């Protein structure tokens, strides 16, 4: 068997084949470290003006994007697998129970503890917001954090020890050849030498964008016209602010450790029946620390974050959220803003030094890192972070550009498009959270009701690094690219691994499900190909 790509999906497949004793060649375009020449193969054309440049949020190297990922693990929910009448093209060919055993094993590979995402059983005591009760808005859900596992560093020794697995680095898959079945894989190796690999079965695990490139360039996978379509990234947005009622100061903010020692955070989600009633997608809301722009938070660490981002990261300065813009407008000129932050940093210098010391210990020097900065708010207000499902939209697509790379392979053309359902989900989730908080007297959510839909539309952005749905799975060959096993509908020995195959994105970050699906595919291949 030949696997293209040594990211999370490719490495899991190769590792499983050790047990099944299948002979495996893994072809990885990159080397041990990021090399400019190989990374340049990820360059592409972005025509929508919103999607990040094609080379960003992807790594052409052993381990793929797990060399830089954030480690957030969340499984898909039951309803993500359902055919929902208000979500066009929704529905997986199987339900979540089919993935359950693989999710359990995936947890172990991701070093994310047991498969338990409920605060009621995975954590002790306290609630996200004290005394919060609502039949529809749920506050028990968790996200767990992997250390984060770099799949190459973590599993390379196991692969190296196993005779049936050969990993070839600097080997770029250019084109598949064959007809009814794939008979060969044309590749470019170190020094740009060309070679061909023959295998009984080929699995493309090259990431959600490159999958389209290799397939389209080879003339495979577009029997239904769906190859590269329904490209989804997840929607991220920062809009609205939770304000606790003066009587209710109890909020569980920041990172906790589960009973099995894993960093985790709590989140608000909506019961599936209520999502259906409102006609919206799946989504989650998290509490964020106080708005860093406004120095009235009087926090030296938040001011230091603002100053660092403003002065050192030009990309951040262009991406201020609605709340951050509002905070800036409340200052008549920049002088007041700068002075406020400089005052916070100066008077809070000892606190800042203490934080910096503990951060270096807990983030940079620990194997299991605290994932990011989350500081409680003295004022009882918390900006809200939204992560939402993106509706499958055939107009959101990845195709081949005219320009070619140094091997003569056409580059990618990315045209990412959100749809109305995406931003309606954000505004309706905020209204629901306000209703539920006010209903139990815990607080409210502040936003401009007159402008909410407009602000929601302006706030939604694609989440970098999630490349979903470009080779979607379907029961019928006319509706997708691969079948329920991940095999190309019209080719007997060609498979796709990774979130390109997901028909819908859910609100969950993809890697846990990518690993679970790779384990499922490995089991299928073991049976199909024999030892």
Contact pattern for ligand FAD over residues 229 through 248, marking x by CB under 6 A: --------------------
Q: Which of 115, 510, 519, 525 binds ligand FAD (CB under 6 A)?
A: 510
- Tell me: cis bond preceding 230? Omega within 30 of 0 counts: no
| Binding flag, residue 218, ligand FAD (CB under 6 A) | no
Among the listed residues 13, 335, 47, the one whose alpha carbon sits nearest the alpha carbon of residue 164: 13
Question: How is residue 267 written in tokens?
Answer: 């989140």
Q: Which of 87, 106, 203, 206 binds ligand FAD (CB under 6 A)?
A: 206
| Binding flag, residue 480, ligand FAD (CB under 6 A) | no
What is the SS3 assignment for 447-516?
CCHHHHHHHHHHHCEECCCCCECCCCECCCHHHCCECCCCEECCCCCEEECCHHHCCCCCCCCCHHHHHH
Give the residue with the Cβ less far from ligand FAD, 112 or 119.
112
Q: Which of 109, 344, 509, 517 binds ligand FAD (CB under 6 A)?
A: 509
Q: Which residue is nearest to ligand FAD (CB)?
A: 7
Q: Interface with ligand FAD by CB under 6 A: which range of 111-119, 294-302, 330-338, 503-511? A: 503-511
Among the listed residues 305, 310, 306, 298, the one whose alpha carbon sits nearest the alpha carbon of residue 348: 298
The distance of closest approach from Cβ of residue 409 to ligand FAD in the complex, given in angstroms and rounded to an integer, is: 8
| Binding flag, residue 60, ligand FAD (CB under 6 A) | yes
Q: Interface with ligand FAD by CB under 6 A: which range of 6-14, 155-163, 349-357, 379-387? A: 6-14
The distance of closest approach from Cβ of residue 107 to ligand FAD in the complex, given in angstroms and rounded to an integer, is: 13
The distance of closest approach from Cβ of residue 66 to ligand FAD in the complex, given in angstroms and rounded to an integer, is: 5
Question: How is residue 507 written in tokens?
Answer: 């609100």
| Binding flag, residue 4, ligand FAD (CB under 6 A) | yes
Of 332-391, binders to ligand FAD (CB under 6 A) are none
Q: Which of 172, 460, 493, 504 binds ligand FAD (CB under 6 A)?
A: 172
Q: What residues contact 72, with CB distance under 8 A and at least 6 apart? A: 143, 144, 145, 146, 371, 509
Place of tokens 């490495």: 11
Return phi, psi of residue 79, to 5°: -70, -20
Q: Interface with ligand FAD by CB under 6 A: which range of 14-22, 245-253, 436-444, 507-515? A: 507-515
Question: How is residue 278 written in tokens?
Answer: 């409102």
Give Dmax over CA atoms of the chain in angstroms: 72
Instruction: Give the dihedral of Cα atoms 184, 185, 189, 193; nearest 10 deg.
Output: 50
Give the residue with the Cβ less far from ligand FAD, 270 or 471.
471
The distance of closest approach from Cβ of residue 444 to ligand FAD in the complex, given in angstroms and rounded to an integer, is: 30
Question: How is residue 380 written in tokens?
Answer: 């009882």
The distance of closest approach from Cβ of residue 136 to ligand FAD in the complex, given in angstroms and rounded to an integer, is: 26
The distance of closest approach from Cβ of residue 466 to ligand FAD in the complex, given in angstroms and rounded to an integer, is: 6
Give the residue with the Cβ less far from ligand FAD, 158 or 273.
158
Residues in contact with ligand FAD, total (CB under 6 A)? Answer: 37
The distance of closest approach from Cβ of residue 86 to ligand FAD in the complex, given in angstroms and rounded to an integer, is: 26
The distance of closest approach from Cβ of residue 301 to ligand FAD in the complex, given in angstroms and rounded to an integer, is: 22
Q: 101: which strand partners?
A: none
**What stretch of H or E contains 272?**
helix 272-278
Among the listed residues 83, 154, 56, the one whose alpha carbon sits nearest the alpha carbon of residue 466: 56
Q: Which of 286, 288, 466, 489 binds ligand FAD (CB under 6 A)?
A: 466
Contact pattern for ligand FAD over residues 7 through 46, marking x by CB under 6 A: xxxx----------------xxxx----------------
At 38 the three-state DSSP class reads helix
C-alpha to C-alpha distance for 354 and 454, rounded to whole angstroms: 42
Q: Which of 52, 141, 207, 240 binds ligand FAD (CB under 6 A)?
A: 207
Q: Which of 18, 68, 197, 458 binds ligand FAD (CB under 6 A)?
A: 68
Distances (CA, A) of 173 to 22, 206, 218, 376, 520: 21, 9, 11, 48, 24
| Binding flag, residue 139, ligand FAD (CB under 6 A) | no
The distance of closest approach from Cβ of residue 30 to ligand FAD in the complex, given in angstroms and rounded to an integer, is: 4
Q: What residues contact 64, with CB distance under 8 A and at least 6 apart? A: 5, 6, 7, 8, 10, 58, 151, 207
Distances (CA, A) of 3 to 24, 62, 114, 482, 517: 7, 13, 29, 16, 15
Question: How is residue 403 written in tokens?
Answer: 């320009």
Q: Which of 1, 2, 6, 227 binds ligand FAD (CB under 6 A)?
A: 6
Q: Which of 231, 398, 511, 522 binds ligand FAD (CB under 6 A)?
A: 511
| Binding flag, residue 507, ligand FAD (CB under 6 A) | no
The distance of closest approach from Cβ of residue 261 to ligand FAD in the complex, given in angstroms and rounded to an integer, is: 19
Site residues, ligand FAD (CB under 6 A): 4-10, 27-30, 57-58, 60-61, 64-66, 68-72, 172-173, 205-207, 210, 214, 465-466, 498, 509-511, 514
């Amino acid at each position: 068997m030949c696997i293209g790509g040594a990211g999370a999906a490719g490495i899991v497949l190769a590792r499983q084949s050790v047990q099944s004793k299948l002979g495996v060649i893994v072809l990885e375009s990159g080397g041990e470290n990021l090399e400019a020449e190989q990374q340049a193969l990820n360059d592409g054309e972005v025509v929508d003006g919103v999607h990040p440049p094609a080379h960003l949020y992807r790594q052409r190297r052993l381990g793929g994007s797990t060399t830089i990922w954030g480690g957030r693990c969340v499984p898909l929910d039951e309803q993500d697998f359902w055919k929902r009448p208000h979500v066009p093209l929704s529905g997986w060919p199987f339900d979540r129970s089919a993935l359950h055993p693989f999710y359990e094993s995936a947890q172990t590979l991701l070093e994310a503890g047991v498969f338990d995402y409920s605060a009621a059983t995975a954590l002790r005591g306290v609630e996200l917001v004290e005394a919060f009760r609502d039949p529809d808005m749920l506050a028990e859900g968790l996200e767990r954090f992997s250390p984060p596992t770099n799949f190459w560093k973590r599993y390379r020794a196991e692969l190296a020890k196993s005779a049936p697995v050969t990993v070839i680095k600097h080997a770029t898959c250019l084109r598949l050849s064959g007809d009814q079945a794939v008979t060969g894989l044309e590749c470019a190796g170190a020094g740009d030498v060309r070679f061909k690999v023959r295998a009984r079965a080929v699995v493309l695990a090259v990431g959600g964008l490159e999958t389209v490139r290799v397939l389209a360039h080879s003339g495979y996978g577009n029997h239904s016209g769906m190859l590269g379509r329904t490209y989804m990234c997840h929607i991220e947005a920062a809009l609205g602010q939770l304000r606790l009622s003066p009587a209710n100061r109890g909020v569980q903010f920041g990172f906790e450790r589960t009973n099995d020692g894993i960093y985790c955070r709590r989140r608000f989600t909506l019961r599936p029946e209520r999502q259906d009633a409102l006609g919206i997608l799946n989504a989650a809301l998290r509490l964020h620390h106080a708005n860093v722009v406004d120095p009235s938070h009087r926090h030296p660490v938040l001011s230091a974050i603002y100053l660092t981002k403003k002065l050192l990261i030009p990309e951040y300065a262009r991406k201020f959220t609605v709340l951050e813009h509002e905070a800036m407008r409340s200052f008549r000129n920049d002088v007041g803003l700068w002075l406020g932050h400089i005052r916070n940093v100066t008077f809070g210098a000892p606190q800042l030094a203490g934080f910096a010391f503990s951060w270096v210990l807990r983030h940079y020097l620990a194997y299991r890192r605290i994932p990011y900065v989350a500081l409680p708010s003295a004022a009882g207000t918390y900006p809200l972070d939204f992560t939402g499902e993106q509706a499958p939209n055939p107009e959101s697509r990845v195709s081949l550009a005219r320009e070619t790379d140094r091997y003569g392979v056409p580059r990618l053309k990315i045209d990412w498009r959100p749809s109305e359902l995406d931003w309606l989900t954000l505004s309706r989730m905020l209204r629901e959270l306000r209703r539920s908080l006010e209903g139990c007297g815990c607080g409210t959510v502040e936003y401009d009701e007159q402008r909410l839909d407009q602000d929601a539309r302006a706030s939604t952005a694609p989440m970098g690094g999630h490349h979903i749905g470009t080779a979607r799975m379907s029961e019928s060959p006319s509706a997708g690219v691969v079948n329920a096993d991940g095999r190309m509908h019209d080719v007997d020995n060609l498979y796709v691994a990774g979130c390109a195959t997901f028909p819908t994105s859910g609100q969950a970050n993809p890697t846990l499900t990518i690993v679970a699906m790779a384990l499922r595919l490995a089991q299928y291949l073991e049976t199909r190909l024999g030892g």
